[in-house]
Amino acid sequence: MTNPTPHDIAPGSPLITLENVTLRLRDRPFLPKTRWQIRSGENWAVLGPNGAGKTALTGVLVGRTPYSEGRVIRHEGSADIHRIGYLSLELQENWLAAAERAETARSFSNGADEPIRSTDLLHADTGPRHPPPHDLLSLLELEPLMNKELRSLSTGEIRRVLLAGAVMRSERLLVLDEPFEGVDSGAREHFRHIMTGLIRMGRQIVLVTHRFQLLPEAISHVLCLKDGRLVARGPLEKVLSEQPLSRLYEKPGRRSTGAAGRPTGRPSPMPPRDASGPENRRHRANGSPTLEMNDVTVRHGNRCILKNLNWTVRAGEHWGVLGPNGAGKTTLLNLISGDHLQAYANDIFLFGHRRGSGESIWDIKSRIGLVSSEFQFRFNRPFRVRDVVHSGFFDSVGLYRSVTRHQANAAMRWLAFFGMAEKAASVFNRLSYGEKRLVLLARAMVKNPNLLILDEPCQGLDPANRRVIIDLVDTIGMETPTQILYVTHHEYELPSCLTHILALDGSGDSTIIRPRFKSERHAARP
C-alpha cells in the first residue's frame, strides 16, 4: 500500500501526538509530561530562547531525541518517522565538514577523488537519484545550483539545496530548525517566501526559531518554551493575545548598559594581561600594520570573489566586515588564517611578515583568536568546558597536553569574565547554544591574541544572548590591546568599539567606511 499524499488526509485529522513525553537531557528530566498534537492543515512555530528545548522537542518528531517517559503516536495515514523532512544548522555544518575532508583527500589523490556536489546533498537517503520536481526547482531556484561543488556555494544556496532534499524525503511534514540563521536579510525574506510556497504545495511545517518577527503568514499555531518548560501552545492569535512573545526572551540578571551601549556591569573583572602574550611581541616595532592586503584577487572558476582588494588594518583599529551571502567574507578570513590556498599567491602581510615567507601555520594561529559557528561544531565530543578553554593555549580541538597552574588560573579568570565559571566542569556539548559561544570566546581570549576574529558570533543566538555577546566584545575592544575583526551580515549587530567597516558587495568590489555609531545600534533587533 502506498503512503497517502498530503491531500489524502482529512483536514483536522491528527498526524502526530506527543502524550506525556519526558525527555532526559544533561542528566535530568527535561520538558516533563509534554503534550502536543499536530493535526492536518496546521503549521507550527516552536519559539523560545537558547537552551529552552526547541531542538530537543522537535527532535522527538524525527527520531533524533530519545525520551524516557510517555509515547509518540503516529496516527493512521500519517507520515512514517523516516519520511519527515528535516533541516538544521548542524546538518549543514556536517556537510561542510565532509566537503573539507573530501577536498583534503582530493589534494592527496591529485584530483582523482570526486568533490562533494549539490546533488549529493539533494539525494542523500532518497534512494534512486530522481531529479527534483519542476515546481520545487522553480520555487527554490535550484537550476543554477545543480551539480555545483558544495564549497563554491554560499550559505543560503547550500540551505536551499538541503531544503529541497528534505522536501523530497518527506511525505507531508517538514521540521525546519533555525532556517533564518547565517543568511543575509534578502535570503531570510526568500526563505519566508519559500515556506509559504511549500505550504501551498501541500506541505506542513514545524518551524523552530527565536526570530518570531520573521514568522511566515501561513503559520497557524505556536508552541512556546522557556527554561525547559512548555509555557504556551495553541492557535497563533490566541497565544499572542495572552502574552507578548518578547517576554519569552527576557534574561534574568541581564547586565545593564550605559548610553553608548557600553556594559556597566559584567560577571567578573577583566582578567589581567599576560606580559608574555602575543600582543607584546615586536611585530609593530617598525610601525608595520597588523594586516595588509595589496591588490588581492581570488577566483573560484569563472567567478571573482575578491577583486583587487587593497586593505590595511593598523594598530589600534577594530574592523567590521559586512556583506551578503557569497560576498567573500569567509574567503577573506581564510586568507588571513592561511586556510585558503590562494593566500600564498597574493600579496598579503600579517603581523609584519609576508604570507609564505617562512612562518608556520601555528605561528599564525598563536596570534589569532577565532570564534565561529563552524568552529563551534568541531567540539562535538564530550569535552569538559575547562578543557575547551585550555585547548586555546595550544590551538587544538581537544586537549592533548597538560596546562600549567598559571594557564589553568588564566582560563578560570576568562570563564568568570564571561559568566561561565560555574560551568567549568560541565560537558561542552550539553550546554545551550549561547553558553557554548561564551565558552569559545573565553577560549579565544585565553592566550591574549593580537587579533580576535569573530565570524557571525551572534548566529543562532536569541536577542538577549546577542546583546550579551555584543556588550562583551565592546568591553574587549575598549579595555584590551586585542584588535577585533567582526564579520556579520547585519549592520545592527556591529559593536560600538569598531573604528572601520569593510563592506563587500558580492561582485568582488569593496568599500571602506569609518563608522560613527550611535547608542541605538545596540537596540534589540530580529
For residue 320, the cross-strand partners are 486, 501
How much is the average pLDDT of 190-198? 94
At 259, is the pLDDT very low, low, confident or very high (cuts 50, 70, 90)?
Answer: very low
Strand 67-74, strand 204-209: pairing: unpaired
3-state SS, residue 520: helix
Dump pLDDT digits (tens) for 417-435: 998 999 999 999 888 888 8
Rounded CA separation 510/320 (Å)? 13
- Best CA proximity match to 507, nearest among 310, 303, 347: 303
How much is the average pLDDT of 508-522? 60
Predicted pLDDT of residue 462: 86
- Asked if residue 174 lies in contact with residue 166, where contact means CB atoms within 8 angstroms, the answer is yes
**Which residue did the predictor score with more confidence, 387 or 108?**
387
> Which element (helix H / strand E) includes 176?
strand 173-177
Give 366's DSSP letter: T
For residue 221, the cross-strand partners are 44, 235
Dump pLDDT digits (tens) for 358-376: 777 778 888 999 998 878 8
- Best CA proximity match to 460, nearest among 443, 492, 436: 436
Half-sphere exposure (Cβ direction) of 341: Cα atoms closer than 13 Å: 6
**Which residue did the predictor score with more confidence, 103 or 328?**
328
At 9, is the pLDDT very low, low, confident or very high (cuts 50, 70, 90)?
Answer: confident
Predicted pLDDT of residue 292: 94
- Best CA proximity match to 266, nearest among 412, 415, 483: 415
How much is the average pLDDT of 499-518? 76
Q: What is the CATH number of domain 278-522?
A: 3.40.50.300
Predicted pLDDT of residue 235: 95
Dump pLDDT digits (tens) for 433-460: 888 889 999 999 999 999 999 999 998 8
Percent of the chain at pLDDT > 70 equals 86
**Which residue did the predictor score with more confidence, 384 or 240?**
384
Domain ranges within the chain, ordered by starting residue: 1-84+173-178+205-248, 90-169, 278-522
- Asked if residue 346 lies in contact with residue 389, where contact means CB atoms within 8 angstroms, the answer is no
Predicted pLDDT of residue 123: 76
1-84+173-178+205-248 CATH pick, 3.40.50.300, 3.10.580.10, 3.90.550.10, 3.30.413.10: 3.40.50.300
**Mean pLDDT in the chain?**
83
At 111, is the pLDDT very low, low, confident or very high (cuts 50, 70, 90)?
Answer: low
Dump pLDDT digits (tens) for 14-60: 999 999 999 977 677 889 999 999 999 999 999 998 888 899 999 99
- Best CA proximity match to 423, nearest among 470, 393, 472, 383: 383
Dump pLDDT digits (tens) for 52-84: 889 999 999 998 888 899 999 988 765 555 589
Same fold, 1-84+173-178+205-248 and 278-522: yes
Rounded CA separation 81/409 (Å)? 48
